[in-house]
Amino acid sequence: MFRAIVSSPDDFVNRVLAARGGRREQLVQILRQVQEHTHWLPRPVLARIAAGVGLTPAIVEGVASFYRFLHLEPVGRVHLLWSDSVTDRLQGSRVLAHELCRRLGVEPGQVSSDGLVSVGFTSCTGLPDQGPALLVNHHQVLTRMDHERVARLADLLRAQVPPAEWPAEWQRVDDSVQRADVLLGSLPLQGSAIRATLARGAEATLAEIIASHLRGRGGAGFATGTKWTLARASPLPPGGTRFVVCNADEGEPGTFKDRVLLARRAHTLVEGMTVAARLLGARQGYIYLRGEYRWMLESLEAVLARRRASGLLGARILGVTGFDFDLEIHLGAGAYVCGEESALIESLEGKRGVPRIRPPYPVEQGYLGQPTIVNNVETFCAAAHIAERGGAWWAATGTPDSSGTKIHSVSGDVERPGVYEFPFGVTVGEILAAAGATRTQAVQVGGPSGICLAGPEFGRRIGFEDVPTAGAFTVFDATRDMFEVARGYAHFFAHESCGFCTPCRVGTELIVRRMDKLAAGFGSGFDEAELRELEALLHGATHCGLGASAANPLRDTLARFPQAYQRRIVQPRFVPAFDLDAELEPARRVTGRDDAAAHLERLG
């Protein structure tokens, strides 16, 4: 039987608070951990947590309300969230979700009358290569769902079989490594890069990072050596320390390469972070793990434990006095914007994940006001190999402006979805050929915040000097409607806006409304003009880069697939988003008139 919600959770809340030291910056972790026990967060529970961390209940509730995976209203004891990414939609996730709801007799977003189950949607689970996928209680994942599995799942839920006893095959997550190079083809590093750093010295190793021309793999491409140099040079307040933070919050739909690195190369990741700590003199680090990857937490904690036992993490690493560095895993709670480094730091401090105004930059005043570097999983893995083998070795691969290799998360209309590691400079067409793509109409490179390319552009090269990417590579064949692809991305950005600035909060919603209007058959030339104005507004007026990129799919599809919009424009004049004549019918009946459509006649 499923565990019932406890009637008086104070004892459990007290234990969580004690384990977390009652620290304000642990608030998001405390909320997540308590909710795993209570299923949702009633106000009395929030008040008890607030007292334990020294905050007002209003502040705590404000933080909880920011994150999608924290619930201020009841959810089912089994809470199911279907991935609603464009790729999962194309694989039939919405049809399957509604079929499950029908079998269970529950509406999407509602809780069943017995409190047993609730079914909803989440933006992306990081599993587009093996969807349709869904999350179970923000803890487990189910992959490759189909009609047969949905029918069986409904039976298991009605029989109240605990999720831990569901078929293991349903929870299988494959790494799907289709092409490996340096990062995926080498053995995990377990001390060799740290030893090389100690032998070479901190300054000389930092010089190797600079000489490698390594740039951040999160999309922006900032020079890693420059970032680390700035953090190293930033003054520390008395008793302060620098921090090393890994951004493992890959929330860009279509991206899953960090998921594979975390599964296969967690040792290399931690090795790279430890090297960075040695160069910066940092004593503490954090891995910010996206909430959708909660199912990976125990395996990552085991890696940290093994490294501590081997003297590769913790106090006196490899027996070196003064070389003290340890890591803690911070679990996200469902917020795409926390992929932006300053929003991530705010979340790490237990706050709402709203991007900061910069300057100051994190390398000057980051986590708790201390100098902080934030790099993603792939960047730290690359840095570990550079520390071991040298900057010239890394720089010899790729292009002059884009050194080394890049891992691509390939999904969509391809024969072989998965991760592909290529040297920078590879063409889009070469990746398509490797993945077995045919009749390709478009490729979304870098996720929805990246760039959408059409067939004539498949000769372009992946690299910061031509087509930069954070790692997503989503393929759409000739059967796909690129307007619907762009509309799906528009819904994603509107849902994920942090709400801080008006251009993003309102602009993304207005884009959705205009695109929904076109999809419903009420499009006009006026709507197309409005969409173009909104696209220009978002690119020039938002608070952070994520807001500015929210209109990228609209911009690219308007430019490359205008016919997808033109066939939805029914006339050049304005068309209301509803049937005005039908709305006037009751008034005509009351007055005894029968002149339908009279409001459309031109006045002489």
Q: What is the pLDDT of residue 545?
A: 78
Enumerate the β-bridge partners of residue 223: 215
| Residue range(s) of every CATH 3.10.20.600 domain in the chain | 405-480
Q: What is the pLDDT of residue 598?
A: 59
CA distances from 68 to 41, 156, 333 (A): 13, 26, 7
Burial of residue 321 (number of CB atoms within 10 Å: 0-12, 13-18, 19+): exposed
pLDDT, tens digit (0-9, with 9 covering 90-100), for 544-569? 877 788 899 999 999 999 999 999 98
CA distances from 12 to 30, 48, 593, 596 (A): 11, 11, 68, 66
How many CB atoms are located within 10 Å of the residue 465 CB?
A: 13
Looking at the domain that runs over 483-571, which CATH code has it been given? 1.20.1440.230
Q: Write out the two tokens for 188.
A: 């995990």
* Cα 489 from Cα 305, distance rounded (Å): 39
Q: Tell whether pTM > 0.85.
A: yes
* Residue 97 near residue 149 (C-beta atoms within 8 A): no
| Region of residue 17 (left: phi > 0; alpha: psi -120 to 50; beta: else) | alpha
Q: What is the pLDDT of residue 1?
A: 42
Write phi, then psi, for 355 (nearest 5 degrees): -55, 140
Provide the CATH topology of domain 405-480: Ubiquitin-like (UB roll) (3.10.20)
Looking at the domain that runs over 177-395, which CATH code has it been given? 3.40.50.11540
Question: What percentage of the chain has pLDDT greater than the value 70?
Answer: 97
Q: What is the pLDDT of residue 6?
A: 44
| Residue range(s) of every CATH 1.10.10.1590 domain in the chain | 10-66
Instruction: Name the pLDDT band for 596 (thresholds 50, 70, 90).
Output: low
Does domain 78-171 match CATH 3.40.50.150? no
- The average pLDDT across 518-542 equals 89
CA-based nearest residue to 246, from 198, 304, 192, 178: 304
Q: What is the pLDDT of residue 600?
A: 53
Instruction: Name the pLDDT band for 8 (thresholds 50, 70, 90).
Output: low
Helix (H) or strand (E) holding 473: strand 472-477
pLDDT, tens digit (0-9, with 9 covering 90-100), for 71-81? 999 999 999 99
Q: What is the pLDDT of residue 597?
A: 65
User: Taking each helix axis from N to C terminus, what angle separates 257-264 and 266-280, rounded to the nearest 10 degrees?
Assistant: 90
Q: What is the pLDDT of residue 595?
A: 73
* Cα 471 from Cα 406, distance rounded (Å): 7
Q: Write out the two tokens for 371.
A: 């100098």
Question: What percentage of the chain has pLDDT greater than the value 90?
Answer: 82
Beta-carbon contacts of 392 under 8 Å, excluding residues fewer than 6 positions away, are 211, 212
| Residue range(s) of every CATH 3.40.30.10 domain in the chain | 78-171
CA-based nearest residue to 466, from 458, 476, 455, 474: 458
What does the DSSP 8-state code read for residue 417? -
* Cα 65 from Cα 218, distance rounded (Å): 27
Radius of gyration from C-alpha coordinates of the chain: 26
pLDDT, tens digit (0-9, with 9 covering 90-100), for 67-105? 999 999 999 999 999 999 999 999 999 999 999 999 999
Class of domain 10-66: mainly alpha
| Residue range(s) of every CATH 3.40.50.11540 domain in the chain | 177-395
Write phi, then psi, for 373 (nearest 5 degrees): -105, 140
